[in-house]
Structure formats: structure tokens, C-alpha cells
Structure 1
Amino acid sequence: MMQEKKNKQRLISLVALLLATAGMLWLNSRGEAPTVNKDLFKTADLTTINEVVLRSAAGATQLKFSGSQWRVNDRFDADRGMIDVLFATLRQAEPRRPVAVSQQDSIATKLVKEGVEVTLISGGEKTDVFYAGGNRQKTQAYFMRPGETPYIVTIPGYRVYTAGIFELDGQGWRSRYVFGFNWRNFSSLVAQYPGKETAGFRVELDDHQYFGIRGLALEQTDTAKLNNYLDAVSLLQVQEYQTPSPALDSLGKMAPLFFIEVKDVGGTAYTLELFPFRRSSNEASAKAVPLIGRIDGRDWAVFRESDLLSLIQPKAFFSKE
């Protein structure tokens, strides 16, 4: 009887312990994973947004829809793919949980000082404002509304640094296409080779609205080569834009290896100057580095040599003879 009584007491104690443990786990789980509004940073109607301003300590970048295309700081056409990524991020980013209480003040301060203030604008009116940033390793992203709690934010199903798209500078948003025109507005193209004037040529529409090369009769022109050439010009993209530097300024004082100018019917000119590339003296193979070009007389970019080979053609290349 005595042993049976002890067994009952032990059973009661065990049940009480299990209930207490379950209660603590339930309370803890509620504290660690509170209900989070997944639409916390989706208050704006993205279909009406026609301007986004990204402001950080490094400066401000304005992305604005002009009616036919997105523009960067009212200077360049924006890369349509990057704009699509921006709006996909705004649609899909979700807060996972608030930042730990012990870190909220420090992360909030960091977001204001080092993060990006994202402003969404519709018809000139602000519709949403929040801060975006991340940890030093860029593995964890935070969003925060001004004066509120910062949240850890992810895109469900993807292992990406969600705040990265907002941290691009102005050049990062710029279209990679060099010649921002369409063939309906094409007027003329001039190619020049300083020091080799006879290799240069001019492409324009003739009286019958055919593309031709001045000084070269249409029946003498290899129109397939000319059309392929014009297509290559229209599709030329930079590999990477370059930050201005004294070295590039010095390079720009040299005579270019190649110069091309395209004009549209409105008289707008698009130019590219290509400068001789340098070979690396540190490599035994003396491997060529990418080619350097200056766009519209002011912006520097790196090009793949393979992308430029089809453009560096002399006038004689287009002759059937």
C-alpha cells in the first residue's frame, strides 16, 4: 500500500511537471513568434506608383516614369529589368518577425543613418515611406517605418538579400544599352577612325527610304552586312559603368581608336568613343583587359571585346566588290 501511494504521488508530480513544461513552451512560442502582418510594407497601390526616390548618405536616386519609359535622375533611361525586380521586391517582401528587443534601438539608428529611405510616389503625392538596410554581411535585411519597430524581412521561397535592390546607386539603375533610340526615329550614323579617315563612313536613308552608305551605290552595297551592323549598334550594351577617375580623365585626352555617332530625327546625338585597351603587365600571358569607352562624351563604361568586334568595321567591309 505504501509503495502504491508513492507511485501515485510520483505520477501526479510527473503530470504536473509535464503540464507546466507544456505551458512554458506555449508561452515562449507566443513570445518568439508573434503574429506578424505580412502586408505591413505593402500599403501602397503599386499600379499607381510612377516615381520612386531612394535616399541614403551617398545621395539620392530618382526613378520616374516619363509616360513611355522609366528614367534615372531625369538623365538616363532605366534598365527595365531592374525596374521589374524593384516592383517584384515591393510586392513580395514580407516581414518575418520584429528585430529582437535588445537590438531594436541600435538597428533603428543604423537604418536611419546608413540605410536607404524608400519613398513611393503616385502623381506627385507620397503614398509610402520606409527604411531598408541590412547587416554587415548583407545576409539579413531589415525594413522599418519612420519611428517604428524594425523588422527582419524576406521574400518567401528565395534566399536573397531583400534590401539589396534599394542600395543600388544611379548607375546601377541605368539601362545597359548604349544607343537609346528606336529605328523609327533613326536619321543617320557616322563611324570614324582617327588617323584612318578613308575607313570611316556615313549611313543614312536614301530617297527611297533604304539604308545606304554615302558614296557607295546601293547596288554595290552588301545590304545584309549593313543591316546586321545596324542591328549590332542598336543592341550594344555595356558590361559595367565606371566611376570617373583621374586615370579615365587622362585616357579621355587621347585620340580614340574608334568613334561612332547616331542621330535621331529630332537631332539628338548618341555617341561612343572607344579607347585603346591596355594589356596587363602582371600576367605572363599579357591577357587583354576589357575595352574602355566614353558614352555621350561624359560617361565611362567597360565593354566586352567580343561585343565590339562587329562594330569596328571599315567602309570597304560593306562593299560587294
Structure 2
Amino acid sequence: MMQEKKNKQRAIILVALLLATAGMLWLNSQGESPVVNKDLFKTADLTTINEVVLRTSTGATQLKFSGSQWRVNDQFDADRNMVDVLFATLRQAEPRRPVAVTQRDSVANRLEKEGVEVTLISGGEKIDVFYAGGNRQKTQAYFMRPGEEPYIVTIPGYRVYTAGIFELAGQGWRSRYVFGFNWRNFSSLETKYPAAAADGFRVELNDQYFGIRGLTLEQTNTARLNSYLDAVSLLQVKEYQDPSPALDSLGKTTPLFLIEVNDVGGTTYTLEVFPYPQGSQPAGTSRKALPVIGRIDQTAWAFFRENDLLSLNRPKAFFSRE
């Protein structure tokens, strides 16, 4: 009985091994490798990377660390959250399997022509280069090194389009904060109402407190003023807009109000707020939910949530105790 039991166990083990072998042979016959190097696209030491270039057939976006913050195309501050997502993707993305042999050439060609060439740079030296892209439906991501075979890439545990972060255009990387100053180097703030000049005011640092020119400390509602300054410093864009003839025309009209902030280094930050043109609202947007549009530093257009700007539309009398 004991020998018979052992024979049965051995038979079961043998069948399991045969099934496993057959499974591996089947996988190989489908053009898939049962073992893939999960670190295939993790050759760079990301702690040393201080520049990333994302190049497509239409242009390039440069992300570079300036020593204190990431910058986009050396023009404006980058959204730190988006940079964090980029590096998290570089750390966690893993090849699941090579692209099937029957699709390999077409996917490789599409990556080279339509994908994003990702270059990781440390101290001016190229550390790594690969292509990132996906299928037409953006449901499957591919990575490929130049001259090598493409791989289907995923982030284990997440159902995300892994290549999406690399496909962001330049404006998608821009910081959502409008005013890039901090209170340590704040010099002054001026709010102007072109249609009602008397409603405008100027905020300056007087000794140890912020005050409004023309109002004494006793005349100023400091709680309201401090809330206003906080709202200015925390204001964020809802969505940046590409230049267009309609926006060019809007920029020639008179804004509802404008805010100008100056720091001690002589840098000026501006925001002009305009009503959204009648009949030009985005599809699916009701008149009650129209976004407010603004121009930042006289160059960049963006939508804002109306409620975010309500706390900034305050005339001088709002801060007076009288």
C-alpha cells in the first residue's frame, strides 16, 4: 500500500511537470518569452537625472532641474506633481512581454515615427534613450530602445496607459500656480479695475505687516486682506489654452480686472481676467457654468474656475473697516 501511494504521488508530479513543459512550449510558440527582465528599462540611476527630453515628430519638451525647481523649456516652472508622476513611471514600469512577432515591425515603425523619444540626462550626459507610445486606442503601451525589439509595458497593480505621461505637450507640464512668488521675497501687489479706477489698490509690506496704501492699520480689515493675499498665492489654473485668433482678439479688449505682483528681485507676475466671449463657450458648457478666462504674464491663456476668482475680485472698499 505504501509503495502504491508513492507511485501515485510520483505519477501526479510527472503529469504536472509535463503540463508545465507543454505550457512553456506553447508560450514560446506564440512568440512570448516566459521570462522577461523586469529591469530592462530601469538602467538609469534616477537620483542623478536632472534633465529629461521628450521628443516627437512635432517638437521637443525639455524638463530640467534648475537647482531649486524643475523648469519646462527654460520658460516656466514645471508642475511638481507631474514630474513626480514621470519619475514614478520610470521607476515602476515593467515589460510584460515582447510584442508578438507578427506585429513587431509595425509597432517598431510606429514608435519611431509617432512615438516619444525619451532621453534621460545627468549633468549634460545622456544616460538612457528609449521610445514610448501605444496602440491607437491608448490601452496598451510600448517601450523600445533604438534598434531593439518593442515590449508591452505595464505598471504592476495599476490599469493605466503607461506611456501617457510621456505624451503630454509642453503646456501639460506647466505649473498650475499662477503667481510663482513666495512671501519671503514679496515686494508689492496691485489690483486694478480699468472701468473703475477708484476700486483699485496697492498692497505693500510696512514694517512687519501688509498694508494697503492710503489706509492705516486701524482702517484696514487685516483678516480680509490676509485671506485675499492667501487666495492670490494659491490661485491655480484649471486648463491652459493654446493661442488662437479669438484669444488674440480678446486680449485687445479691456479686462475686468488685473493683478500685478512684484518681488524684491524685480520680477513681475501678472494676471488679466476677461469675461468669456458670448457664444464661444466650450461644447457641453452651460452659461451658468462658464469658465473665466485669464492671461498670465501677458502671454499664456488659461481657464479658471469662477469660484476661484470670486475671492480675488475685491475693490479697495472691501478691505476698509469703515
Q: Same fold (TM over 0.5)?
A: yes
State the AA in 2 paired with 1:307: D
Q: Does 1:305 align with 2:306?
A: yes
Shift in CA distance, 311/94, structure 1 to aligned 2, threshold 3 Å: same
Match of 2:3 in 1: none
Deviation at 1:137, TM superposition (A): 0.4
**Deviation larger for 62-71 or 272-281:** 272-281
Counterpart for residue 132 of structure 2:
132
> Are residues 189 and 250 of structure 1, via their aligned partners in 2, closer, same or farther at CA, if it must alter by over 3 Å?
same
Per-residue deviation, 1:33: 3.5
Distance 1:97 1:216 in 2: 69
Aligned to 1:277: 276
Letter in 1 for 2:272: E
Q: How far has the Cα of 1:195 moved from its partner?
A: 1.5
The answer to whether the 8 Å contact 1:280/1:289 transfers is no
Structure 2 residue 63 is the aligned partner of structure 1 residue 60: no
Instruction: Please state whether the residue corresponding to 1:225 is helix, strand or coil.
Output: helix
Aligned runs of 1:95-174 on 2, under 5 Å?
95-174=95-174
Letter in 1 for 2:41: F
Mapped to 1, the partners of 2:176 and 2:285 lie a distance apart of: 32
Amino acid at match of 2:215: L
Q: 1:27 to 1:267 in 2, by over 3 A?
A: same
Match of 2:223 in 1: 224
Unaligned runs of 5+ in 1: 1-17
Choose from 16, 24, 27 the match for 2:25. Answer: 27
Residue 107 of structure 1 aligns with an amino acid whose one-letter code is V
Give the root-mean-square deviation of aligned CA atoms: 2.0
Contact persistence 2:24–2:34 (CA under 8 A)? no
After superposition, the Cα gap between the structure-2 partners of 1:21 and 1:165, relative to the gap in structure 1 and judged at 3 Å, is closer
Partner of 1:233: 232
3-state SS of the aligned residue for 2:271? strand
Write the distance in 2 (CA, Å) between the matches of 1:100 and 1:151: 9
Q: Give me the TM-score of the superposition, normalised by structure 1.
A: 0.91
The match for 2:291 is: 290
Question: Residue 175 of structure 1: SS of its match in structure 2?
Answer: coil
Instruction: Give 1:20 deviation, angstroms.
Output: 8.7
Q: Is the 8 A contact 1:279 1:288 kept in 2?
A: no
Distance 1:276 1:117 in 2: 40
Structure-to-structure mapping, 1:181-196, within 5 angstroms: 181-196=181-196
* Alpha-carbon distance in 1 for matches of 2:19, 2:64: 56
Q: Report the equivalent of 1:316.
A: 317
Contact 1:200–1:314 under 8 Å retained in 2? yes
Larger Rg over CA atoms = 1
Residue 281 of structure 1, CA deviation: 8.5
The one-letter amino acid of 1:309's match is: L
> Is 2:244 the partner of 1:245?
yes
SS in 2 for 1:27: helix
SS of residue paired to 2:288: coil
Query: Is 2:44 the counterpart of 1:44?
Result: yes
CA distance in 2, matches of 1:25, 1:192: 73
Displacement of 1:285 in angstroms is 6.9
Q: CA deviation at 1:29?
A: 2.9
Conserved in 2, the CA contact under 8 Å of 1:279 and 1:289? Answer: no
Matches of 1:76 and 1:255 in 2, distance apart? 26
In the other structure, the counterpart of 1:180 is: 180
Q: CA distance change for structure 1 residues 280 and 86 in 2, over 3 Å: closer, same or farther? A: same
CA deviation map 1:222-263 (0-9, x unaligned): 111101100000000000000000000000000111110000
Q: Shift of the alpha carbon at 1:19? A: 10
Determine the structure 2 residue equivalent to 1:94.
94
Task: Please give the per-residue CA displacement for 1:153-189, whole angstroms capped at 9, x wherever unaligned.
Answer: 0000000000000000110000000000100010000
Deviation at 1:287, TM superposition (A): 2.6
Q: Mark the CA change 1:285 to 1:251 in structure 2 (over 3 Å): closer, same or farther.
A: closer
Q: Distance in 2 between matches of 1:108 and 1:79?
A: 31
SS at match of 2:139: coil
Contact 1:55 1:116 in 2 (8 A): yes
Q: In the alignment, is the contact (CA less than 8 A) between 1:278 and 1:288 conserved in 2?
A: no
Give the Cα separation in 2 of the matches to 1:78 and 1:23: 51
Identity %: 78
Q: Does 1:214 align with 2:203?
A: no
CA–CA distance in 1 between the matches of 2:270 and 2:195?
19
- C-alpha change, 1:312 and 1:20, in structure 2 (3 Å) is closer
Aligned to 1:200: 200
Distance 1:21 1:284, change over 3 A: closer
